[in-house]
Structure 1
Amino acid sequence: MHSSAPRPQKSPGGRTADQSAPHPRAARRAFFASLTGTSLEWYDFAVYSAAAALVFGDLFFPSSDPLTGTLLAFSTYAVGYVSRPLGGFVFGRLGDVIGRKRVLISTLVLIGIATLLIGLLPTYATVGVAAPIGLVLLRFAQGVGVGGEWGGAVLLSSEFADLHRRGFYASAAQVGPPAGNLLANGVLAALGALLTEDQFLSWGWRVAFLLSGLLVVFGLWIRVKLEETPVFKAIEATQDRPQAPIRDVFVTQPRALSAAILSRVAPDVLYAMFTVFVLTYATGELGMSRASALSAVLIGSALQIVLIPLAGALSDRVNRRLVYGCSAVAAAVWPFLFFAVVDGSSWLLLTLGVVGALAIHSLMYGPQAAFIAEQFTPRLRYTGSSLAYTLAGLIGGAVAPVLFTALLGAYDSWVPLAVYIAVTAVLTVVGIRLGRDGDPTEDEELEREAGQRHAAEVTW
């Protein structure tokens, strides 16, 4: 008579009670879903950013002073950041209450529809002041969607993954911005090359926004096929879903929230400088062509697609906060070198400067997703991550292009721009110092408890 040991019971998340990692195929599928979804949403966000720098000043904010038109266009760019906290509050809360997957589908639809409508929006010459008002409202909707997207995308990939490789898997969401930026600027560059200046200003720029409809359908197809994350299933099984997650984050985890917010400031500002404002600086101050400036950003963004996951993987092997902090120090120094040597006669110097800045950004941005998620307990992770991401945007990326434009106009010098970036790097180092290292045992214990409850229910 043979006796056989009982098979290990699977928790509701799909892992056995003694496992810390799911099947590799599930982790890869979640990584791809997070990567593609955020890339599509950041395409929508980035195509607006590039258009704000290149055409929106003339089309929606006509003025005899080009600097004023650009400033107003960047103000609508900032609206996309100002509205993010609303998305973080609404969708972050829902992500901890109803689950990651359903929220991520909603954010993708919201951003896609808003971007599609921007492509159909009449200009100031056609409908007057209604044009910039409509632009601001649609940009607001984009920001709300992005505010709820990031935290969920990070958790989608990291909560399916080996808990000791969270830096690499969480970086899937971080590849979205450079991938979306690459795609957006690539489309705009192709349209600029194929069309005359008049054609591009008249209708060519709209094509980049209208493409969003096709991209959203593809993204939805991928996300609908996914299951809920193992961590959220375990939270459901243990009946530990929070009733008031926003309040709980502010009351029980204020240090974690402060650390996560400050850690994001320098990466946001550095990215705004070298993917958005650099287009204005290169064309307006250095006298370079729009195609030259765009190509420099495209090359830097392409390299980031590789560098960001490598940086995330590096942070799994080396202390995550150390990698992040050293990169923040480099971010404080690089702008001084860039502005001192770049001039309008050398496209190569411009490109090397942009590539160097985006490489430094990658070393911060790759570990960032895991660092922020690790600051919060599993039951408050979506809310905490979303609040940190969106509130940091208010003091980082939202005001950066506007301040860059205003500082350059007031002082006619690059020095205040470099000093501004250095100050934000100091804030980020403070945030990293306030933060904590990751603790994989939190997720392991949660899933173990869920597995034990499930086993007891099956036995009963």
Structure 2
Amino acid sequence: MKTQKHHSEKANQRRVAMATLVGTTVEWYDYFIYAMAAGLVFSQAFFEPVGSELSLLISFASVGISFLFRPLGAFLAGHYGDKIGRRAMLVLTLVLMGGATTAVGLLPTYQEAGIIAPIILLLLRILQGLSAGGEWGGAVLMAVEHAPNNRRGRAGAFPQLGAPLGLVMASGMMALMSGVIAPGDAFAEWGWRIPFLFSFVLIILGYIVRRAVDESPVFQEIAEKKQQSSVPVITLFRKHAPLVIVAALVFAACNAAGYMATGGFIQNYAVESVGLDRTDVLNAVTYGAVIWAAATYVTAVASDRWGRVRVYQIGHVVLALTIFPLFWLLNTGQIEMFYLGLTLFALGLGGTYGPQAALYSEMFPASIRFSGVSISYAIGSIIGGAFAPTIAAFLVQQTGTTTSVSFYLLALTVVSLVAVSLIRDRSGLNLSINNEAEQAVGALVTDKRPIPAPVKETV
């Protein structure tokens, strides 16, 4: 009987891993497709009347506007995720994201519909932001709370892999349309729409996979004991506001650096300023995303052995060392050098992304954990990635060099390195609701309150 139970738990963990991987990949594909189109098409299709330079800034700003609504999505999903469960929120956010993405593919352009076209585009981007704000926290908790305490880093890698794999899919689809199916003017006329419409197929796949997964065992305990917090968000900020801010700052550098590629800036700069071929650039970004995925998985697994904080610190150092070479190599105008720059850069991204799921999950008490990880992630994305492409484009326009962009990213990396160094590594902490007293104190090294004796792990 014990062997059968062990096999059943292993099979369920594999289902959870697949569900979180597929779901987050679909969500980030949807999110990144918009960002790439903003850098390659939307400035002409929706914002052209304001002039070429300003239309590009507005187009990148439309990418960032969704981040302003991610905290609202995180508040809502965190509130209901801590009250009615992780799984229900995951299904809802998936459908909301996919529906908004598909609708973008059906939108008329400014020339066809006038000012109403960019207005609807922005509204759909806001819906994407609401969805993204709630997606990540739920996926992470489903993965980590199902996992054994000594394999949480590995389990948390699967929802983290959704971002680089979503970028692989988004770049691959854009490259396919630009280079094969709709090359030249056809891409700007209608080819860019196909990747958005393809999202409808992905919604169905993600919905089927996510509906088949059991609810998180930690939330099942919370529901059985009727220990849901009445207003999780208020409890979170009343008792753990400094922890939320530190956690948000931890994510800022990775998010800003990542949005150089996922937010469309690299693609636009490489094509319009450096003069590289659009399809070659998209292929290079697809390759870089594969390296990012590999580094994410390796560092997530490594965090189970060497601790989340240590691996995170190393990741930030690597990221700091690769920020300048990325643009130096790109500016050579040689596609091979761009590949090399992306390889180095992706290693730093993976090092600051792989351990994040487990680190965040071990920072917050069980009854408000969904709210804690979701809101911290959303605030970090505003500080880091929200307007990173817009800021980068503005810096290049004002200074005429990407060195200013590198210094901007370096400053954020230093901030994130300091922030993660303020966190106490709690790898292996019992995440059960029964151990909430220990979970509630000691996440920051500055917290000198006595830590209660841990409850023996039962999951």
- Whether TM-score is above 0.5 comes out as yes
Question: Mean alpha-carbon deviation: is it higher for 261-270 or for 370-379?
Answer: 370-379
Contact 2:294/2:350 (8 A) holds in 1: no
Per the alignment, residue 48 of structure 2 pairs with 62
Per the alignment, residue 432 of structure 1 pairs with 420
Is 1:368 the counterpart of 2:361? The answer is no
1:260 to 219, 224, 247: 247
When normalised by structure 2's length, the TM-score is: 0.91
Change over 3 Å in CA distance of 1:176–1:258 after alignment to 2:
same
Change over 3 Å in CA distance of 1:64–1:99 after alignment to 2:
closer
Is 1:216 the counterpart of 2:203? The answer is yes
Contact 1:279/1:293 (8 A) holds in 2: yes
Is 1:322 the counterpart of 2:305? The answer is no
Q: What amino acid sits opposite 1:402 in the alignment?
A: T
Aligned partners of 1:421, 1:391: CA distance in 2, in Å? 17
Is 1:174 the counterpart of 2:163? The answer is no
1:277 to 248, 260, 265: 265
Is 1:239 the counterpart of 2:229? The answer is no
Aligned partners of 2:351, 2:430: CA distance in 1, in Å? 26
Shift of 1:113: 0.6
Contact 1:274/1:354 (8 A) holds in 2: no
Shift of 1:307: 2.3
1:92 to 78, 85, 110: 78
Is 1:201 the counterpart of 2:188? The answer is yes
Change over 3 Å in CA distance of 1:242–1:57 after alignment to 2:
same
Q: Secondary structure at the match of 1:120?
A: coil
Per the alignment, residue 301 of structure 1 pairs with 289
Change over 3 Å in CA distance of 1:64–1:230 after alignment to 2:
closer
User: Deviations for 1:12-51, whole angstroms, at most 9, x for unmatched residues?
Assistant: xx99xxx9x9811111110110000000111110110110
Shift of 1:373: 1.5
Change over 3 Å in CA distance of 1:223–1:411 after alignment to 2:
same
Q: Greater relative contact order: 1 or 2 (C-alpha under 8 angstroms, separation 6 or more)?
A: 1
Q: What amino acid sits opposite 2:254 in the alignment?
A: P
- CA RMSD in angstroms, aligned pairs only: 2.1
Q: What amino acid sits opposite 1:221 in the alignment?
A: I
Q: Secondary structure at the match of 2:430?
A: helix
Contact 2:318/2:347 (8 A) holds in 1: no
2:141 to 148, 155, 179: 155
User: Deviations for 1:348-386, whole angstroms, at most 9, x for unmatched residues?
Assistant: 111110121112101110001111121101111100000
Shift of 1:431: 1.6
Is 1:443 the counterpart of 2:431? The answer is yes
Aligned partners of 1:319, 1:443: CA distance in 2, in Å? 16
Contact 1:234/1:447 (8 A) holds in 2: no
Contact 1:377/1:442 (8 A) holds in 2: no
Change over 3 Å in CA distance of 1:96–1:340 after alignment to 2:
same
1:388 to 364, 368, 376: 376
Is 1:136 the counterpart of 2:95? The answer is no
Q: What amino acid sits opposite 2:371 in the alignment?
A: T
After superposition, residues 97-108 of structure 1 pair within 5 angstroms as 97-108=83-94
Contact 1:231/1:447 (8 A) holds in 2: no
Per the alignment, residue 399 of structure 2 pairs with 411
Contact 2:74/2:378 (8 A) holds in 1: yes
Contact 2:41/2:188 (8 A) holds in 1: yes
Q: What amino acid sits opposite 1:36 in the alignment?
A: V
Aligned partners of 1:317, 1:35: CA distance in 2, in Å? 22
Percent of aligned pairs sharing the same letter: 34
Structure 1 residue ranges without an equivalent (≥5): 1-6, 9-13, 453-460
1:30 to 12, 16, 36: 16
Contact 2:270/2:330 (8 A) holds in 1: no
Per the alignment, residue 65 of structure 2 pairs with 79
Aligned partners of 1:332, 1:356: CA distance in 2, in Å? 11
User: Deviations for 1:266-312, whole angstroms, at most 9, x for unmatched residues?
Assistant: 00011011343111121122111111211110101122232212110
Per the alignment, residue 277 of structure 2 pairs with 289
Q: What amino acid sits opposite 2:176 in the alignment?
A: A
Aligned partners of 1:294, 1:98: CA distance in 2, in Å? 41
Aligned partners of 1:436, 1:133: CA distance in 2, in Å? 45
Is 1:400 the counterpart of 2:400? The answer is no
Tell which structure's C-alpha radius of gyration is larger.
Answer: 1
Change over 3 Å in CA distance of 1:441–1:371 after alignment to 2:
closer
Contact 2:367/2:433 (8 A) holds in 1: no
Change over 3 Å in CA distance of 1:447–1:333 after alignment to 2:
closer
Q: What amino acid sits opposite 2:346 in the alignment?
A: L
Aligned partners of 2:183, 2:284: CA distance in 1, in Å? 21
1:50 to 9, 30, 36: 36
Q: What amino acid sits opposite 1:196 in the alignment?
A: P
Per the alignment, residue 455 of structure 1 pairs with none
Shift of 1:64: 6.9
Is 1:422 the counterpart of 2:410? The answer is yes
Q: What amino acid sits opposite 1:225 in the alignment?
A: A
User: Deviations for 1:250-277, whole angstroms, at most 9, x for unmatched residues?
Assistant: 1111232122101100000110113431
Q: Secondary structure at the match of 2:107?
A: coil
Is 1:345 the counterpart of 2:345? The answer is no
